[in-house]
Chain A
């Protein structure tokens, strides 16, 4: 059996069409239940295993499940891997669920030097502002980062932006795009060798689907 941890929410929504295109056996009732573990039968001739198990985890926890080895593979945004480097292998850039790590704020703050920044990514935020030669106070928050700028707790936010709709709805503006991020297929280091053939099949099917999407 091969166990794959998926990042709940945006990332899974974004990669689902790719998983389908790659021909992976997928659960059909993902949206309908509150279950967190899904077992499906796999074609052993193609994938070398009889079953695949999917885990639905909070995005930031996907690398943890993979590093412990309870999940052999994981699909998670590069932003998570950049913020907290983990001892996992990064196999394929899935080139979907794409987002940008951005610095944003209220338009009237754009020309003022940054002083306080709210973020879910304290490490990356610190790196970014130090590379700009500015010292800022970082306010770590765990969600709805926009709120901090809207109510004036901070004059900047450092966050993931997909369409920019949330920013616009809250009267915020992107000041700078720091990095493009996409979903990645990661593997536990031990599974990578112990389940080599099965993992290779999944990685190749996904890489081929990524390539087809680009040319098609």
Chain B
């Protein structure tokens, strides 16, 4: 038998884990280093934390089903903990005492591995789905609210991609509270809101159309969402503006925020790379404002994502507005050819 295929002879690699051999491992480390240096140059300080968090820490601000995605274990006293699914809960836990002491704003960056339960083969899930283990390099900004902070963060993300010389990227922006308010305004009962939003997050527009039609009758919500463009504030239909309705007021507040953001974006260098799509709805549930995903030709899934989460720090005992985003490093790697090298001074071909 071929020696290489003799399973008895070689040690097994755990399911979902992936090895990187020299050139790929070097590229990943270079990318992490480049991004961290980029963020540090712009005033973000590098932080790090252990890979485990208590499950109740991760649970704060998230929906009840979030834990299905986690790799959970028990500590020696039997208390459940999990490998972090992303860095935001750890950053919030670390920042809360500083927030309480009034040390704002906090601008941190990180480069860490994150973990998810996954049955898919690692190679597929790295490229497109959720990998069991992947690398995130991101920033969190705590203590800054308002449209200026939002648009600066969006620019920071696109500046980084421009620095890496990735062309053709598109940033898709939405608002976490817009669709929930719209569905409520159109008559969807509160109990049915979550499952509907989950369909939208999953991208199952067929089921979303069918299910939403049960509540909203003649309105095609997907069609309505596709006509809304915050660059043109008058695309919001007047029928949705009802002063007496609480849902309408929330809808209009989200819309105003988006229109202000559109104004700020119009003036930026990256305006052509940014689009609004209000059908974009993101997990986790703690987002309270602008949310976004970044796509690039060659990567089948978002290479960066983020948003505003103004209530999460309150869950950690110290209220403060916050915003952040993260790059998915393994997906970014798929945008580089083998002969391209990311060096500290930029991208070079060899």
Contacts and interface: CB of A to CB of B under 8 A. Distances in A.
Q: Do A and B come from one complex?
A: yes
Nearest to B331: A190
Given A64-B124, A67-B129, A68-B300, A194 B203 contact: no
Contacts, number: 65
Interface in A176-191: 184, 187-190
A93 to B, nearest CB: 5
B93 interface: no
B340 interface: no
Contacts of B172: 193
Contact of A68 (B124, B130, B204, B293): B124
Interface in B134-167: none
Interface of A: 64, 67-69, 86-93, 184, 187-190, 192-194, 196, 200
Given A67-B128, A87-B301, A184-B206, A193 B275 contact: yes
Contacts of A93: 206, 210
A12 to B, nearest CB: 19
Nearest to A190: B295
A89 B204 contact: yes
B170 interface: yes
Nearest to A187: B203
A91 B128 contact: no
Nearest to A186: B203
B300 A92 contact: no
A88 B203 CA distance: 7
Nearest to A195: B297
A87 B297 contact: no
Contacts of B53: none
B297 A194 contact: yes
Nearest to A81: B204
B127 A87 contact: no
B28 to A, nearest CB: 20
Contact of A90 (B205, B277, B300, B302): B205
A89 B300 CA distance: 12
A90 B299 contact: no
B205 A190 contact: no
29 contacts: A67-B300, A68-B128, A69-B298, A69-B300, A69-B301, A87-B128, A87-B203, A89-B205, A90-B204, A90-B206, A91-B205, A92-B206, A93-B210, A187-B203, A189-B203, A189-B295, A189-B300, A189-B302, A190-B296, A190-B297, A190-B299, A190-B300, A192-B203, A193-B170, A193-B293, A194-B170, A194-B296, A194-B297, A196-B275
B162 to A, nearest CB: 17
Contact of B206 (A64, A87, A91, A193): A91
Given A69-B298, A188-B300, A190-B295, 20 more contacts: A64-B124, A68-B124, A68-B128, A69-B299, A69-B300, A87-B130, A87-B301, A88-B203, A89-B203, A90-B207, A91-B206, A93-B206, A189-B302, A190-B296, A190-B299, A190-B300, A194-B297, A196-B275, A196-B277, A200-B226
Max count, chain B CB within 10 A of own CB: residue among A64, A89, A92, A194: A194
B168 interface: yes
A126 to B, nearest CB: 14
B123 to A, nearest CB: 10
A89 B130 CA distance: 15
Contacts of A86: 129
A189 B279 CA distance: 13
Contacts of B207: 90
A69 B205 contact: no
Interface in B264-300: 275, 277, 293, 295-300
Interface in B4-50: none
Interface in B152-192: 168, 170, 172
Max count, chain A CB within 10 A of own CB: residue among B127, B204, B226, B299: B204
A22 B44 CA distance: 52
Max count, chain B CB within 10 A of own CB: residue among A187, A189, A200: A189
B295 A194 contact: yes
A214 to B, nearest CB: 15
B203 A90 contact: yes
Contacts of B275: 193, 196
Nearest to B277: A193
A135 B120 CA distance: 26
A90 B208 CA distance: 10
A68 B331 CA distance: 11
Contacts of A91: 205-206
A77 to B, nearest CB: 13
A88 B120 CA distance: 14
Contacts of B301: 69, 87, 189-190
B335 to A, nearest CB: 11
A68 B124 CA distance: 7
Contacts of B204: 89-90
B296 to A, nearest CB: 7
B198 to A, nearest CB: 12
B129 A190 contact: no
Contacts of A190: 295-297, 299-302
Contacts of A189: 203, 295, 300-302
A23 B124 CA distance: 34
